[in-house]
Amino acid sequence: MSSQISLYIVWFVLCVHSRCSVQSNDSNKKPNFIILFMDDMGWGDLGCYGHPARETPNLDKMASQGLLFTDFYTASAICSPSRASLLTGRLPIRNGFYSTNQVARNSYAPQEVLGGIAASEVLISEVLQKAGYRNKIVGKWHLGHQAEYLPLRHGFHEWFGAPNCHYKYDGKIIPNIPVYKDHLMTGRYYDDYKIDHETGVANLTQMYIEEALVFLDRQAKAKQPFFLYWAPDATHTPLYASEKFRGHSSRGLYGDAVMEIDYGVGKILDKLKQLHLDDNTFMFFSSDNGAATYAFTEGGSNGPFLCGKQTTFEGGFRQPAIARWPGMIKGGQVSHQVGNLMDLYLTMLDMASLSRPKGVVFDGISLLPTMLNGTKKDRPVFYYRGDTLFKVRLGQYKAHFYTWNTPREAQDIGYHYCPGQRIDKVTTDQMANYTQAPLLFHLGRDPGEKFIIPSHTAEYQTVMPRLLKTVHEHRRDLRPAKPQFNLCDLAVQNWAPAGCEKINRCQMAPMSYLYNCTWPY
């Protein structure tokens, strides 16, 4: 036994046919919300999703106390668009988190990009703010780093964390990777907030945990409903973990980072209990995209699914997802409802009995009926790569209109999205166009998308028209937003964020020079 704490599974009969009797929710008392949002964590990384290491006792406990989704999706196989979709309830093609500079390329928000979350987008944080919530984001934002895009302009009252990814920059003069405390930069990743390049030791996750706990304490005292968006980034390369966790996992540094985050989830669960917030707090766990298979042993696991981050195969899009709300959601549930990060928006509005913002087209649905009563709704999944719809799922069926493994430019910088996996016609080296005769898969019999259902079969001929109709309807109503990720400029990097003066971290920006961003993904 590797651990003092182990798994105990108890079974019981759920009310499925009849409406479950749940505690009546005091309509004056708004529920609290916590979203635990992971970075590059895969479907297969948790014990309760079958990872052989079983090193996530607290997340497994959270699942035991709530509802685990087997078929939950992201809206994008890459970070920024996924995060934008979570907070807007809309596909990237609708909220602008894409580029038209290249066909079918994933694009995210690095420091050179001009764009970010448009003022016209109504984030869930904004709706909750208007409804009297106190909102805090801890960790990674990634919806644009220029002043107008930062979280405190978009419904959050508080922030501790970074606007972008924490890449290692080379060279002597490098822009800040700022850590913000609310409106102001308080230091640089690597320098003021140390990450040891050799060992991967850093204390950032501990800080992110502490920020969450202090916030919960404060909100409990204030008796004000809250939305905590907890988005640590230790599982995104370059990986890191604190001294206390370094070397503890059987999986290496990635596992150490997972164990530390899991520990943090345990602390948050303890705190909720201690503060008697359990019964009135909806907590949701998921991840932004599939595990980064290109990070080799430094990346997570997508379980039995194909490829990972950056791709529209299941390994890129299917996410771990756990809902917990002891006062309302029965524990011990497993749901096969097809869910999406975009559903959180309308689900939370439903939970708080708030109206939807007018005139906004949503791509999500409310999952509250599923969570409370076990109802199941047939609904599609659209798998975009950049500006292009690559695949669609409806029921157990998935059609591939385009397939692509790793673009040449990504290979040139050492990326391979499907290491060890190779399927004829599916993990194609070039972007393959199957729109005239889409490839069909049955995800129940074949979760790994290995076996193409031949087009001459009755199954194909029955199913494909339904899938094509779904896509036709989706396209008919779609008005793509202005792409946010077309323009770049080195001058817009984080040279001198607000607050840099006080800590002597301001740098001179280079001359402004606008150019079309390109993406190797």
User: Any idea how long the chain is?
Assistant: 521
Whether 48 sits among the annotated catalytic residues: the reply is no
Q: Least distance in Å: CB of 52 to a copy of itself?
A: 5
Nearer residue to a copy of itself within complex by CB, 14 or 152: 14
For residue 59, what are the contacts with CB-CB under 8 A and spacing of at least 6? 46, 47, 48, 262, 265, 285, 322
Per the CB < 8 A criterion, the answer to whether 351 and 31 are in contact is yes
Class of residue 3 by CB neighbours under 10 A (exposed 0-12, middle 13-18, buried 19+)? exposed
Nearer residue to a copy of itself within complex by CB, 189 or 263: 263
Per the CB < 8 A criterion, the answer to whether 69 and 347 are in contact is no
Q: Could you tell me which of 184, 118, 112 has the C-alpha nearest to residue 154?
A: 118
Q: Least distance in Å: CB of 6 to a copy of itself?
A: 5
Q: How far apart are CA 472 and CA 489, in angstroms?
A: 37
Nearer residue to a copy of itself within complex by CB, 8 or 513: 8
Nearer residue to a copy of itself within complex by CB, 110 or 247: 247
Whether 142 sits among the annotated catalytic residues: the reply is yes
Q: Least distance in Å: CB of 231 to a copy of itself?
A: 25
Q: Least distance in Å: CB of 65 to a copy of itself?
A: 8
CB atoms within 10 A of CB 117: 27
Assigned token pair, 158: 């508080």
E runs forming strands in 75-156: 134-139
Q: Least distance in Å: CB of 315 to a copy of itself?
A: 11
Q: What residue ranges bind a copy of itself (CB under 8 A)?
A: 1-14, 16, 44, 47-54, 57, 60-61, 63-64, 68, 70-71, 249-252, 254-255, 296-297, 301, 303-304, 306, 331-337, 370, 374, 376, 396, 419-423, 442, 444-448, 450-451
**Candidate list 48, 51, 142, 166, residue with the active-site label:** 142
CA dihedral in degrees (287, 446, 62, 328; nearest 10)?
A: 100
Residue type, 93: I
**Candidate list 48, 79, 418, 500, residue with the active-site label:** 79
Per the CB < 8 A criterion, the answer to whether 363 and 340 are in contact is yes
Q: How far apart are CA 214 and CA 222, in angstroms?
A: 12
Nearer residue to a copy of itself within complex by CB, 38 or 177: 38
Q: Least distance in Å: CB of 419 to a copy of itself?
A: 5
Q: Could you tell me which of 299, 302, 255, 335 has the C-alpha nearest to residue 43?
A: 302
CA dihedral in degrees (257, 285, 206, 188; nearest 10)?
A: 80
Secondary structure of residue 35 in the 3-state scheme: strand
Nearer residue to a copy of itself within complex by CB, 357 or 419: 419
Nearer residue to a copy of itself within complex by CB, 76 or 335: 335
CA dihedral in degrees (392, 287, 48, 56; nearest 10)?
A: 160
Assigned token pair, 215: 């916030």
List the catalytic residues. Answer: 79, 142
